[in-house]
Every structure is written in structure tokens, then in C-alpha cells.
A and B are shown apart, each in its own frame.
Chain A
Amino acid sequence: MLRVNSLVYLQMRLKSQRWAFKGKKTNTQRALESFDDFYGSVFGIRWKNIRAALLTEHKYIAVVNNFGDADKTCNGMELNGALNIKSLIKVVEDRLGRNNKLSINGSNNTLDENLFKVLCRQEEREKQSLYPMSSMAETSVQLQYSAGNTTEFKSNSENGENQKFIESLEMAIENNTQLANSRLIDPQYGTGGLYEFMPANKIKGMEDWIPESDHYKYYSTHTDFPLKFELETEFYYPDNLKLYTYEIGNCSEFITPQKCLTGALSHYLLDGASVLPPLFLDIKEGDRVLDACAAPGGKSLIMLQTLFPDTLVCNDIQESRLNRIRKVMQEYIFDYKEKWENKRILFNQCDAKYMDNYESFDKILVDVPCTTDRHSVTVNDNNIFKSTRIKERLRIPELQADILANCLRLLKPGGSLIYSTCSLSPVQNDGVVHMALQKAFNENGITATVKDLSYIIMFFEDIFKFENNKVLKYGQMVLPYLPANYGPMYFCKLMRNM
């Protein structure tokens, strides 16, 4: 038994050439490799443009602080050539002439197929690394399977997959035993023949091993819950919100925030794409709003700057992250301690998937933890692609779906939420929305309407580069693009049905 194992091990060792030569990989390299592989097949030739943009500095939008010297700041920005997004939207509104083009998101797209291929490939690779001998037999089966028509894997992709996996495992084991039998050993050396070989069914020390392909299985195409799309045609830009940015191709920078007469800072700088989720949440005066994963507080601040929310609850999982939000609020809001804290801004430290004040919010912003693509490929510290966090990373979609499903329960009937991530992965985006809708329906009987934002993103097409909405199922996405290097940011609006 030992010898066969070591034989397999030797094979693996010879196969992986980098084993001896290369130094240790950094986390960002690991992230980049994984993205190259996965996004390369999702986005095709467009991936290289996105890749270059991700690795290069991103672009900011400035949120002018109404509690500082707002007019002075605005003037300064305009003098530097920045665009006021409010006036930009007015211009676009005139141009569009309010002629609504109705286009419901196409449900038939190539993404499903692509992801299925990714899944197959990943499984194949894992099988090969675990059972190198059986790889030959495997590929032919795999090829046959993927050549099958699309309807087949739409209907029973899940079951078929698992069965395939089990089958191939058995086959691999069988092949291994054959291999053992075929090796004759001179009886004078060994007492027992290798025909007594018992195939391993568990690898010691790897009891809770999750293969990478499990991650892709979170993306299912199978629908058994009521699904309704509705085109969002109304968009109001909040009067009090002042946002500034530069046009496409202009890479100028903003000045660092200055201290104003009121003691608050003049403006807040954040990745441009992060302003969209709070804007599309369409907060009305007197709404009770929840920011489910609020740190570091940029999106919360935007919502407060509209002055619309009656109360804003900022929730996050750790007190240290809440403290960061507190610090931001103190820096930006005048009279924060006296008039705002615990009156209009509430802090709540809780895991968003266990919050239980059901049906109490009008609007919720669900900006879930994700693989934070831009961060993962540029910063090594505390990177989600760290080998010790692999389990956490592969289970991210599960966590995201739990949070989203729970947030649907927290909504008042008729209320709406925005789900957003800063990842390009369809598994974490459309896949999670799908899973959460299914979960909310199966476990709590909640149904929701997907608000199609494809019309109102047209207001922003002059400054952002959006993913073609034919490729996406439920939401919209800002793609990183060098001349307008925002995002990535996926967002999807859901309205809880009455």
C-alpha cells in the first residue's frame, strides 16, 4: 500500500515542474493565477483589458461633504475640471428624451455554458492531480459529456455532476487496483502480494478538504421558485448629494480632503463604482435604512449626505470595523456626537446572516464580503487567497447567499434592497442572487421581484464602463477599464413582494 502511494506521489512530483525551482508564491500571484484561469474563460479576450485595469491604480469619485464648506469645495473641484455628476445626469436625461426602451434581461445567455465548462475543467484538473493514472480514461468520458446538448445540462446538471464524480472515483480506484495486481513482486522479498491492496477512501489530515470545483458548483442554473423581472424606469438623483469625477480618459487626481470651518473634512474620496449602489437604492425621505456590511463607511456616508434616511443602521461583524465607521462619521459630520450618534445613526455589531429584526427596514444595502478582486491582486496582507484561508474563500458564495437571504427577511414587504459585490465572479454575483432567492422562497416563503436596472444605468454610461447586460442575469456590473478605472462592482436590486 505504501509503495503504490509513493509511486503516485513520485508521478505527481515529476509532473509539477515548479516543485523544486520556484520560490514561494505570493498571495497576489496566487489570486492572479486563479483569476487568469477563471475569468479568462468567463470574459474571453476581454479579460486582458480588465486584468491590466485591475492591476493599475483605480479612479476616485469625490463626495462633497455637506457639513463642510460645500460651496467652496464644489468651486474648487470645478476649477480643477471635475464634472458634477448631477448636471451630467440632467444632460443625459434630456438626450434620452425619456423614451423608454423596454428590454428585459435575457435569460438565455452564454454565461451558463461558460461556467459549466469552467466547472468541468476544474474537476478534471483535481481528479488528475489526485489520480494521475486514470486521467486518460477520464478525458474521453468528459469530452463526450460536455459535447452533449445544452438542454441536458440545464435540466439535471446538479445530479449528473455528482454522479459523474462518484463514477469516476470508482473507476479511478478500480484502475489503481489493476495497477497493483499487474505488478508482480518476487515472493522472496514480500510476504503479502499487492492484490490485497485496499484503496484509500480517506486522506489523513484532509478530512475537511474542499476541492476548488465545489466553489463553482454554487452557480446553479436550475430554477424552481417564482421569478419576476420588472424594468426600473424612474431614477431620482438626490438634490443634496454632490458628486464629482473626471470624464473618461482624464486621469487627474483630487486634492486631499481639507479641514473646513466646521471642523469636518471637505470631501470623501472613494472608488467611483461604490457610489452606484447607494444611488440606485433610491432612498426616500423618512426611510429606515440598513447598511448590512457597512465598514469602512463610504457608502453609509453617501446615504447620509442625501439627508433622506430617518435612521441608518450600520451593521458589521466586528467591533473594530464599526470603529472605523465611527471614525469616518466623526470626521465628516458636524455635531456628530450631540445630534447624530444613536439618534439617526445606529451601530449594530452582529453577523448579518443572524440579524433578526425582521420586516423592519424600508431599504437595505447589502455590500457583502467577497474576493475583493482589485484588493486581492494588489495587496498581499490579509489576502483572501492566502493558503490558510482557502476554505473561507471557497465558501464565500454560501456566506453571501445566507446574508442576502436573511436581508430579504429583514425588509418590509414592498421594500427593496441592493446586493453588491466588488468581484467579477459570476458565482458570487448572479449565482448568489439565484441561491438566495431560492433559499428565501424555500425556507421562508419570501418572493422578490428583480428590478432590471439596464435602463437607468444609461444615465451613467458616459463615465462608467458597464458589462453588456445580455451577459448578466439579474444585475449590472461596472467593469474596470483603464480610461475609467472604476470597480469592479456588481449590483442587483431586489424588491420584496407584498
Chain B
Amino acid sequence: MFRRYLINFKQNVQIIHRNQQFIQRQLTPLRYVAAAPEEQTQLEQSHIDEAVRLNPLLSRVPEAQWQKAYETFLNHGLNTSNFLRIAVGNPDVLARPKQRIIDAFENWRSCQFGEKLLFLLLTKYPELLNVSDGLRLRKHISYLKTFAGTDKNVWKLLMNSPDLMEQSEHRIEEKVKYLKEVMRIEIPEIIKSEALSKPLEEIRCRHVFLERLGLFVPRPKKANPDEPSKNPRLYQITNTSEKTFATKVCHVTLIEYEAFKELYERELQRAEDDADEDEAREGKRGYKK
């Protein structure tokens, strides 16, 4: 009962998360419109108007705050267009005291992604500037590094799945273990996909479906790494919507995949229940051939 509640809760969180991503994606092209050309370094009233149009929440920010925040960002090496993108994506930043913004920058700098890549990351996901606990950030980044290998890989990983920062080590560990040991997928492929921002249940469901269709065979351990595998790539499995996954990757109809999801969830549930219960009740099961 509790477990079901938990799963429902997780799904809701996931839906909210996706909606956010969706809004962001919609905004992205508009942000470029709002952004001033590179050489034009001054913040003008027209920029602010455009930004307010894109994100009405910004209308509450007084002129003085705009200027103050703008200067802080400029001092840290960001240009006007990047600043505007961050402001549109995360209006709360403008209202923060100067020191807090600087701290956030310093914390991120300590991850050593390099100035250019860091700005790319922060403008893509302005929410990342909300960090306040530097220690926790460093701990988490160094944890990500344990399986990603290099700083650059950690950066790539965050570019694809920024919500890794909010997931517990335990949950990430579970997913990496599943991807590496059951699906036998190598780290470079994991990094290129959004797999780690999906819940383990979804990854497993899609993987098992492909396996039962006969479309996914785990690579043999001794296989030549240069030999391309016939399996669909991980990004095709995890970065797709239900419909695209069913029709373009699995080549089945959507209702077949939906039926499978329902049946598979029940199958897992039953396996768990069976493991909990004693085998003594086996005889009382109502189902027969």
C-alpha cells in the first residue's frame, strides 16, 4: 500500500519535472530573440521589456535590482545575452543579495568544468544557480565523477540530465548499476543519453519490453568493443516519448506498449508479493491453466 503510494508520488513528481522541461524547451528559441547581440554589452530598457514579456514574473523586479544583478554577472564574466537568459529562466536570482550569487558562482567554479563550459551549463539550466551548500555540491560532483571518469564527462552528464543534482546517490547508483550490469551499456553511451534523469522503473520497463520483443540482446562480455551492436542506442530508449518509443524504436503500436506497461508492473508486484509471502500458500492460488 505504502509502496504504491510512493510510486504514484514519484510519477507525479516526474510529470511535474517533465512539464517544466517542456516549458523550458518552448522558451529556448525565444530566449535567443530576447538576447542582445554579443558586441552590444549594455543592458537596455528594450531588453528588459522583452524579458518581462517572456516571463511576466520579472515585472515585479525594480529597475535598480536589474542593474545591480547585471553588474554582478558582468563582473563574473557573463555577457548581456547570457545574463538575460538566466534572468528569464530563473527570475529569483535577481532578487538575491550580491554575495549569494557570487558564492554560487564560486561553488560551481570549484567543480573545474572550465569557464566556457560552466557558463553554457548555467545558461542552459539557470536553476543550477540556486545552490547554497557548497560542500554538498562538491560531494555530489565528486560522486558523479566516480563513475563518469572525467570533469568533462560530469559536465556532459549534467548538460543532459540536470536533475542529477537533486537525486540521492542511492538512486543514481541503482540506475548506473542496472544500465551497466543488466543492459551492459558502457559509460560513454550513458553520458550521451538522458537515462539517468528517468526513474529506474521506466528504464527497466522499456528495456524489458525491448528484450521480450527480441530487439535488445545484452552485449556478450567478451565481444569486440569496436563491433557495433544491433541494439537500439540508449538515447533512443530513454530520450523518447512513449509514442515515439513504441512506434519508432520498437515498431509496435502504442496500445501494445501501454498494455505491456500495465502487465509488467503487475508482474513485478506479484513477484515481490510472492517473495514476501510463504510458499505455503501456493496451493491456494486461484489461477489454473
**Chain A residues packing against B (C-beta within 8 Å):** 21, 36, 45, 47-49, 51-52, 55-57, 60, 249, 251, 253, 256-257, 268-271, 296, 298, 328, 375, 481-483, 485
Contact = CB atoms under 8 A, between A and B. Distances in A.
B286 A269 contact: yes
A47 B214 CA distance: 9
A21 B256 contact: no
A298 B289 contact: yes
Given A48-B251, A251-B266, A483-B259, 13 more contacts: A48-B215, A49-B256, A52-B213, A52-B214, A249-B259, A256-B286, A269-B288, A270-B288, A298-B289, A481-B256, A482-B256, A483-B256, A485-B259
Contact of A48 (B214, B222, B259): B214
B76 to A, nearest CB: 53
Interface of B: 209, 212-215, 220-222, 251-252, 255-260, 262-264, 266-267, 285-289
30 contacts: A36-B214, A45-B251, A47-B214, A49-B252, A51-B212, A51-B213, A52-B209, A52-B213, A52-B260, A56-B263, A56-B264, A56-B267, A57-B263, A57-B267, A249-B259, A251-B259, A251-B266, A257-B286, A268-B288, A269-B287, A298-B289, A481-B256, A482-B252, A482-B255, A482-B256, A482-B259, A482-B263, A483-B256, A483-B258, A485-B263
Given A21-B220, A52-B260, A60 B255 contact: no
Contacts of B259: 249, 251, 482-483, 485
B267 A296 contact: no
Contacts of A60: 287
Contacts of A249: 255, 258-259
Which of B212, B257, B259, B264 is the most central at the interface, judged by chain A CB atoms within 10 Å of its CB?
B259
A56 B211 CA distance: 11
A481 B215 CA distance: 17
B263 A251 contact: yes
Contacts of A268: 288
- What 6 A-B pairs come out closest when comparing CB atoms? A256-B286, A52-B212, A483-B259, A482-B259, A55-B212, A482-B256
Contacts of B266: 57, 251, 253
A267 B54 CA distance: 62
Contact of B289 (A52, A56, A270, A482): A270
Nearest to A484: B259
Contacts of A256: 285-286
A56 B260 contact: yes
Nearest to A481: B256
A382 to B, nearest CB: 13
A256 B209 CA distance: 28
B274 to A, nearest CB: 13
Which of B213, B262, B288, B289 is the most central at the interface, judged by chain A CB atoms within 10 Å of its CB?
B289
A268 B288 CA distance: 8
A49 B252 CA distance: 7
Nearest to B262: A251
B213 A49 contact: yes
A268 B286 CA distance: 8
Contacts of B286: 256-257, 269
A286 to B, nearest CB: 29
B213 A48 contact: yes
Contact of A56 (B212, B222, B252, B255): B212
A483 B215 contact: no
Nearest to A45: B251
Contacts of B213: 48-49, 51-52
